[in-house]
């Protein structure tokens, strides 16, 4: 069943992103007084009184000639309006209607879609410009203050009454994939290439993507939840390229890194035409530390003529020597080369994350390994391992019962992890090995 689609439109800085965050009950859209902060439409489901609808935040609609990003953002707004079941047209109740407001009203009317006029920033229940907005002639006009949460429950009730009954999908049933990487490596292009349509705005201008663009994509009989994130740069570099956008870029960077925590699998996108950077290693190390599946996507391979895949892989191995188990795929989002391989590798990593090893087989491996690799201790303290059991998945977790386990060197743990990988396919996923005292 198609979800009831509610789209928020309006000129810049009237509170669209704040309303979106208020309705989805989380700080998902970046809110800032810099005009044009929102570029890509972002959506989320809202469940209210056993009814379900999808809310979409869009860019501020205004026209500026010869501005590539604004023109693409405006086209995205028009696309979302065409898909809407209900439009929330937001205006600023502290001032009289502007020429931009009137243009958006005309655009909304031409769509033929039902419209709620939402007059925001009305703290005292009434606006001195109420008559001016009433003259627009909309049947449904609501006066609200998003920042003070006034009138929001009434607006939610009106939307809920129009929405069909339903429940939110269990996102844990989908592979949750975050596309992470430095600016301009082609993250949005890869998302568009996988979906085979333009979901995210693509531009050569650094910092094009700001909000996290979330899309559920169905390929054949499988569904995937992709999140395209802003370019993740080192904190010390933020704002140096364009000071005016520094606060927005800071928030974008925080959201991008936070998506690693929420993801099951991280696609680390690298530009093959650029040198590997410390930030690439930092992102990979953070994903490993959080126990996330990792896939390295080397993009723009169509531009790499002077180096072979084997040579590039050796370079990656030297840089990511702590993660030799990470699969690498060479792609070109521009030409579509090997794009279909990404979801195939995602499926493989997802399966490996959930792999369970029978306890009997696990302990045979531990016993054979310990015979030739006795843990070294210190003085009279001689560690000894007794029993192993798998205690978790995503990532696979193994608990070993041992005596004096505090004395076991990390190199033994690493060697046992390699032994597990030799027997079972755990490519793409970290393995967690923990010890507990035998007496417990």
- As a whole number, the mean pLDDT across the chain is 82
pLDDT per position as a tens digit, 63-82? 555 556 566 677 778 888 88
Across the range 174-188, mean pLDDT stands at 86
Distance CA 130, CA 96 (A): 9
Distance CA 84, CA 92 (A): 22
Do 31 and 118 form a contact (C-beta atoms < 8 A)?
no
pLDDT per position as a tens digit, 384-398? 889 999 999 999 999
In a 10 Å sphere around its CB, with 0-12 CB exposed, 13-18 middle and 19+ buried, how is residue 283 labelled?
A: buried
| Among 246, 242, 249, 253, CA closest to 282 | 253
Q: Which of 70-84, 148-162, 283-297, 410-424 has the lowest mean pLDDT?
A: 70-84
Asked whether residue 245 carries a pLDDT value surpassing 50, the answer given is no
Please state the pTM of the whole predicted model: 0.71
**In the prediction, which pLDDT does 125 show?**
61
| Among 68, 3, 6, CA closest to 41 | 6
- The answer, yes or no, to whether the previous bond of 395 is cis (omega within 30 of 0) is yes
**In the prediction, which pLDDT does 378 show?**
64
CA dihedral sign of residues 52, 255, 430, 341: positive
Contacts of 21 (CB under 8 A, 6+ apart): 27, 28, 29, 31
Q: Which domains does the chain have, with CATH numbers?
A: 4-162 (3.40.50.300), 171-352 (3.40.50.300), 359-437 (3.30.300.20)
Portion of the chain with pLDDT greater than 70, in percent = 80
DSSP letter string over 105-145? HHHHHHHT--EEEEEE--TTS--TTHHHHHTT--SEEEE-B
pLDDT per position as a tens digit, 17-29? 889 888 888 765 4
**In the prediction, which pLDDT does 293 show?**
96
Cα 424 to Cα 350, 361, 392, 412, 418, distances in angstroms: 14, 11, 16, 18, 10
Contacts of 435 (CB under 8 A, 6+ apart): 399, 400, 401, 402, 405, 408
Question: What phi and psi values does residue 69 have, to the nearest 5 degrees?
Answer: -65, -40
**In the prediction, which pLDDT does 67 show?**
59
DSSP letter string over 147-198? TTTBSHHHHHHHHHHHSPB-----GGGSEEEEEEESTTSSHHHHHHHHHTS-
**In the prediction, which pLDDT does 241 show?**
44
Across the range 407-424, mean pLDDT stands at 92
Do 342 and 329 form a contact (C-beta atoms < 8 A)?
yes
| Total residues found in the chain within this entry | 440
């Amino acid at each position: 069943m198609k979800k009831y689609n509610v789209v928020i439109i309006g000129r810049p800085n009237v509170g669209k992103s704040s309303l979106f965050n208020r309705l989805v009950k989380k700080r998902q859209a970046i809110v800032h007084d810099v005009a044009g902060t929102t570029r890509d439409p972002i959506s989320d489901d809202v469940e209210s009184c056993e009814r379900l609808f999808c809310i979409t935040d869009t860019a501020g609609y205004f026209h500026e000639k010869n501005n590539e990003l604004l023109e693409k953002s405006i086209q995205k707004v028009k696309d979302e309006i065409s898909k809407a079941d209900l439009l929330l047209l937001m205006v600023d109740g502290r001032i009289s209607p502007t020429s931009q407001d009137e243009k958006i009203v005309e655009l909304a009317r031409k769509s033929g879609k039902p419209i709620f006029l939402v007059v925001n920033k009305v703290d005292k229940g009434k606006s001195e410009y109420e008559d001016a907005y009433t003259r627009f002639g909309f049947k449904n006009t609501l006066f609200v203050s998003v920042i003070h949460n006034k009138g929001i429950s009434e607006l939610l009730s009106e939307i809920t009454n129009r929405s069909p009954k339903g429940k939110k999908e269990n996102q844990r049933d989908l592979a949750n994939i975050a596309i992470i990487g430095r600016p301009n490596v082609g993250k949005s292009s890869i998302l568009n290439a996988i979906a085979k349509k333009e979901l995210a705005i693509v531009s050569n201008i650094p910092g094009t993507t700001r909000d996290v663009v979330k899309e559920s994509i169905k390929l054949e009989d499988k569904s995937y939840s992709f999140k395209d994130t802003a370019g993740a740069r080192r904190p010390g570099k933020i704002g140096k390229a364009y000071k005016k956008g520094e606060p927005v870029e800071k928030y974008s960077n925080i959201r991008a890194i936070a998506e690693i925590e929420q993801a099951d699998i991280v696609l680390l996108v690298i530009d093959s035409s650029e040198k590997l950077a410390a930030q690439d290693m930092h992102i990979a190390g953070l994903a490993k530390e959080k126990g996330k599946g990792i896939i390295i996507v080397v993009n723009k391979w169509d531009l790499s003529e002077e180096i072979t895949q084997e040579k590039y892989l050796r370079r990656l191995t030297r840089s990511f020597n702590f993660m030799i188990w990470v699969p690498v795929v060479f792609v070109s989002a521009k030409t579509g080369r090997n794009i279909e391989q990404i979801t195939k590798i995602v499926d493989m990593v997802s399966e490996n994350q959930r792999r369970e090893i029978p306890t009997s087989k696990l302990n045979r491996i531990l016993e054979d390994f310990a015979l030739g690799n006795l843990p070294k201790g210190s003085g009279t303290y001689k560690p000894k391992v007794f029993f192993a059991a798998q205690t978790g998945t995503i990532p696979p977790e193994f608990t070993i019962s041992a005596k004096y386990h505090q004395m076991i060197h990390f190199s033994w743990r690493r060697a046992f992890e390699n032994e597990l990988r030799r027997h079972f396919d755990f490519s793409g996923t970290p393995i967690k090995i923990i010890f507990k005292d035998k007496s417990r």
